[in-house]
Structure 1
Amino acid sequence: MYDLTALRERLRTQRPVPWDQLPDFSLYMDQVLSYMDRQVIRFDEDDGLTAAMVNNYTKSGLVPRAEGKKYNRDHLAYLTAICVLKRVMSTRDMDLLIREELQGDRPISDGYAAFCGSLNKALNAVADEMEDRTGEEELADAAIHFALMSYAAGVASSRYVTLLRQRQEAREEAASAAHAKSKERAKKEKEKD
């Protein structure tokens, strides 16, 4: 089963480059698209990143606007995360996770490193699981096994996203309430004068 052996090898070795190895100069769109082909595991032309997709991700706020027509390390980090996550979750959920992971309180380089670390563990785990499923007679069983693993991981991911969204909404409500209280205090003080 050459295809499975090759896939297992790619799962073990093909990784997005670390932050410090991302280009430290700006790239044009065609260079970005070519670069992203090396960042993620792909098997055919249909699942590649396109200029229209990048523009849509930018319009929706998933990716920061290009500087002129040039893209930098930050853009490559965002696009790497999007290219991986778009296969398994909605744009709305990706937006929440990317904002938490790459736009949170830590530098984008740290968020990107955490993302790559988690991806590395996931790819290695699947490659390890494939070790026991190499025979042609097991293709259907193996496909079901990995589909069920994907299902279980999807259920867990969905729940984590829901909890994260609830936490975010609670923060926003608290901030809104604090702002309203502050405005009310200011109004009362103004009325005293």
Structure 2
Amino acid sequence: MPEIYLYMDQVITYMDKQLKLFERNENTRLLTSSMINNYVKDNVLERPEQKKYSKEHLAMLTIICMLKQVLSIQDISQLLKSLTDHTSKTELYDQFRITQAKVLEDICSRVSQTAEKGKDALTKLALELSIEANARRTAAERILSELAEEEAPKHNKKKEKAKMQD
């Protein structure tokens, strides 16, 4: 992560390099300036300081870009707010990187071992990985829905208390 603040065009250039591995083809961009502006507008990402983005912004953008492949922006927003209530953004990013590296290593190992068995085995692995991905996405969405339902009464009580004080 760069230690200096970056302007939007620099952020896009930096993030393009960071996310290259995850692009399916060159014509598909995982992040644009419009997306970043929408994340800020929707409070998924903190506002830049005088149009400059910090390394914390870049860390959160990296996480958002990875998660948006499987979760809605609403779910990502809820997840990040919940996580950053108890963890600094730097710690969250470090945990994210460690987990991502482990998962990628495990997947690469499975693919490598299966590749030795031939094309049919790879095709079956692609199906298996797709089924696993769908099941994991569904589980994550349900967990987030449950957590949101638990949090809703607390949020409503805070609103009611604030109204009574006015």
Q: Considering the TM-score relative to the shorter chain, is it more than 0.5? A: yes
Unaligned runs of 5+ in 2: none
Matching residue of 1:191 = none
**Corresponding position of 1:18:** none
User: 2:76 aligned with 1:97, yes or no?
Assistant: no
1:59 partnered with 2:41: yes
Give me the identity figure in percent. Answer: 29
The number of residue pairs the alignment matches comes to 162
Q: 2:10 aligns with which of 31, 50, 54?
A: 31
Structure 1 moving runs of 4+ over 6 Å: 181-184
Q: What SS does structure 2 have at the residue aligned with 1:27?
A: coil
Distance 1:84 1:121 in 2: 15
- Aligned-pair distance for 1:181? 7.1
Moved more, 64-73 or 141-150: 141-150
Bigger CA radius of gyration: 1
What does residue 160 of structure 1 align with? 140
Distance in 2 (alpha carbons) for counterparts of 1:56 and 1:73: 19
Q: C-alpha separation between the residues in 1 aligned to 2:159 and 2:38?
A: 33
**SS of residue in 1 equivalent to 2:27:** helix
| Inter-partner Cα distance in structure 1 for 2:42 and 2:161 | 32
Which whole-Å deviations, capped at 9, do the CAs of 1:84-107 have from their partners, x for residues lacking one?
122222222222222233x22211
Task: Note the aligned Cα RMSD (angstroms).
Answer: 2.6
Change (3 A) 1:136 1:148: closer
Aligned to 1:112: 93
Question: Cα 1:70–1:137, aligned 2, differ >3 Å: closer, same or farther?
Answer: same
Aligned positions of 1:1-193 closer than 5 A: 22-40=1-19, 41-43=21-23, 44-48=25-29, 49-101=31-83, 103-134=84-115, 138=119, 141-177=121-157, 180=160
Deviation at 1:130, TM superposition (A): 1.2
